[in-house]
Structure 1
Amino acid sequence: MTEDELYARLKAFEGRPAATAAQGRDPVNQPMIRHWCEAMGDTNAAYTGPDAIAPPTMLQAWTMGGLSGHSNGAGRSTAQDELFALLDGAGCTSVVATDCEQEYLRPLRPGDTVTFDAVIESVSPRKTTKLGTGHFVTTRTDVRANGELAGTHRFRILKYAPAARPEPQGEQGDPKPLRPRPVINRDNQGFWEGVRRHRLLIQRCTACAALRFPWLPGCNHCASPDWDTVEASGAGTVFSYVVMHHPPFPAFDPPYAVALVELAEGVRMISNITGVPYDKVRIGMPVQLEFLRVDDDLELPVFRGSEA
């Protein structure tokens, strides 16, 4: 298939529905609003109390199906799957989100039932980027609250064929670039001293016994400045993760997995996952602490996973 023939087939998807009369998994609700505001650090009073509204930027959140998707499949169209399959067949097997645009027409309030329609708005000609060559696909979603249009969300991705990785430059025998050094200060010095002794130390408030990580100068539960430490067992599970492909950094060799690990003690920390290929990392995967020496002067706590 020539490039012109492929693009003609891709253009034929423009205007086709990606979802029709689909319904959000949950009504707009205060717990999700609270979680969003806590994650964003947004303390605007408009999002609390009996007259609360949802933050406008949550528009897309109410339409998302989560890891398991929308349970009844209502409103789902095969057009987007067919489009992506066509791009995959053309070698554009990788995907990256590039940008989104939102327009707000009315606020969403707790109790609103969210429905939405989505359409494949545009597919670009083949473009060349630093990541590789491929096509930008824009999907427009019209979001309704109790049947009334509340906003529009445009989401753009790039489906691309990864560019060949450049050959390393420099003379043979050039020293390997160093990983960034951690910033060690009076608040976290004890943590890094523990790492040097192959101990993963968690702060514990001596007033209320709350555990905290990363290390902080005071308790975020009771504000007490007094604390001691407990040593983590090293057992944990992958709570969430991301696979890093871009941007490249000289001391790293992408792709690699970076995970938010939930320790057996209940706190979470970010670290690398070792022992399994990056594409085998999964949420819920059991992991075990180990210490990785990355160069003569730096050793880091990482977590080894197991495909089994």
Structure 2
Amino acid sequence: MTAGKASAEAGVDEDVSGDADELYGRLRAYEGRPAATAGTGKDLVNETMIRHWCEAMGDTNPAYTGPDAIAPPTMLQAWTMGGLSGHTDRSGPYDELFALLDGAGYAAVVATDCEQEYLRPLRPGDRVTFDAVIESVSARKTTKLGTGYFITTRMDVRASGEPAGTHRFRILKYRPAKAGGKPKGPAGVARPDPVVNRDNAGFWEGVAAGRLLIQRCGVCAALRFPWLPGCNTCGSPEWDTVEASGEGTVFSYVVMHHPPFPAFSESGEGGPYAVALIELAEGVRMVSNVVGVPYDEVRVGMPVRLEFLRTGPEARLPVFRSSAGGEG
């Protein structure tokens, strides 16, 4: 089974000339070299992490609980991640590749998409090990973010010594485009555009029309968010949509202090701002900003209602404004 692949490189133009040819040749020399060797997951596959994942995703599939539980397949990468303490198994070639790009001015980075292939279920008690390779480096591309190179890393994952899956992760290392024509947000600071791919395009079409659409399974009628190619509950690929009422509550939240990001702070000065997990009246949850209330006054359980923030002539984002006590 292979997860849906986002069309991350759609709309980009190949741009190879002059010095870029020489740099591209040096970058391609890293293809096939190891990004990590004999890596080991920091924790055994365990019920606690599976439960936290399912609660965060709103996934109630019974296969992930009980004495015969398995881990959700999409957790494949989770067991290999370094966490805040970082990676200890990353290879020298991987760091050299990044240093080469940084030195050439392609210092910004953004994740674009991933592909996963599942070969064997992961079960509590499994020890996850992995090897990773720098699979490919694209020719230089010009994107809306800027000019750079797409780097694909392939990770081969094993569970207790048996092949469990493959994870391909693609990033763009780029030189940011010069500011100028990009629309500004309310604070006068450019806000990044959302990443639109074939799995979520319908959602963003709804946002553009002032509608917040939730996927509904065409077989079991379960609602799901964020948008996915298949149902978490029954696995059916059939679906339609329902429009959210716009009412909800703050299920949880964090206050972002660093790094400063003026585009997300209402003052435009890069101060703290709240990022909340909103539980919609329909029962699904989504991550968004809470606006119209100071970041330090956001509370769990706070009632909110949907509105659309215009960030450019054709750009809108769903955000939520506090409706407690008749505010707004």
Give the alignment's TM-score, normalised by structure 2.
Answer: 0.55
Q: 2:141 aligns with which of 122, 127, 132?
A: 127
Q: 2:65 aligns with which of 45, 48, 57?
A: 48
- Change in Cα spacing, 1:238 to 1:142, as seen in structure 2 (3 Å) is same
- Change in Cα spacing, 1:68 to 1:79, as seen in structure 2 (3 Å) is same
Match of 2:33 in 1: 16
Match of 1:79 in 2: 93
Is residue 2:110 matched to residue 1:96? yes
Aligned length: 215
CA distance in 1, matches of 2:258, 2:42: 23
State the shift of 1:288 in Å.
Answer: 5.3
Give the alignment's TM-score, normalised by structure 1.
Answer: 0.59
Is residue 2:155 matched to residue 1:141? yes
Partner deviation per Cα, 1:164-213 (whole Å, 9 max, x = no partner): 112479xxxxxx89x99xx9xxxxxxxxxxxxxxxxxxxxxxxxxxxxxx
CA distance in 2, matches of 1:24, 1:93: 28
CA distance in 2, matches of 1:51, 1:116: 24
Q: AA paired with 1:163?
A: A
Match of 1:39 in 2: 56
Q: AA paired with 2:155?
A: T
Q: 1:163 aligns with which of 146, 153, 177?
A: 177
- Change in Cα spacing, 1:116 to 1:45, as seen in structure 2 (3 Å) is same
Partner deviation per Cα, 1:27-63 (whole Å, 9 max, x = no partner): 0000000000001110000000000000000000000
Q: AA paired with 2:34?
A: P
- Percent of pairs identical after alignment? 65
CA distance in 2, matches of 1:44, 1:105: 19
Q: Which runs of 5+ in 2 are unaligned?
A: 1-17, 192-206, 212-247, 277-287, 299-320, 323-328
State the shift of 1:69 in Å.
Answer: 1.4
CA distance in 2, matches of 1:119, 1:257: 38
Partner deviation per Cα, 1:113-163 (whole Å, 9 max, x = no partner): 000000000000000001100000000000100111100000000000001
CA distance in 2, matches of 1:159, 1:28: 32
Secondary structure in structure 1 of the residue aligned to 2:132: strand
- Change in Cα spacing, 1:122 to 1:243, as seen in structure 2 (3 Å) is farther
Q: Which runs of 5+ in 1 are unaligned?
A: 170-175, 184-213, 221-235, 262-268, 273-286, 291-299, 302-308
Identify the structure with bigger relative contact order (alpha carbons < 8 Å, sequence gap 6+): 2
- Change in Cα spacing, 1:168 to 1:43, as seen in structure 2 (3 Å) is closer
Deviates more, 1:144-153 or 1:78-87: 78-87
Structure with the greater alpha carbon radius of gyration:
1
Q: AA paired with 2:65?
A: T
Partner deviation per Cα, 1:201-245 (whole Å, 9 max, x = no partner): xxxxxxxxxxxxx748xxx9xxxxxxxxxxxxxxx9847878769
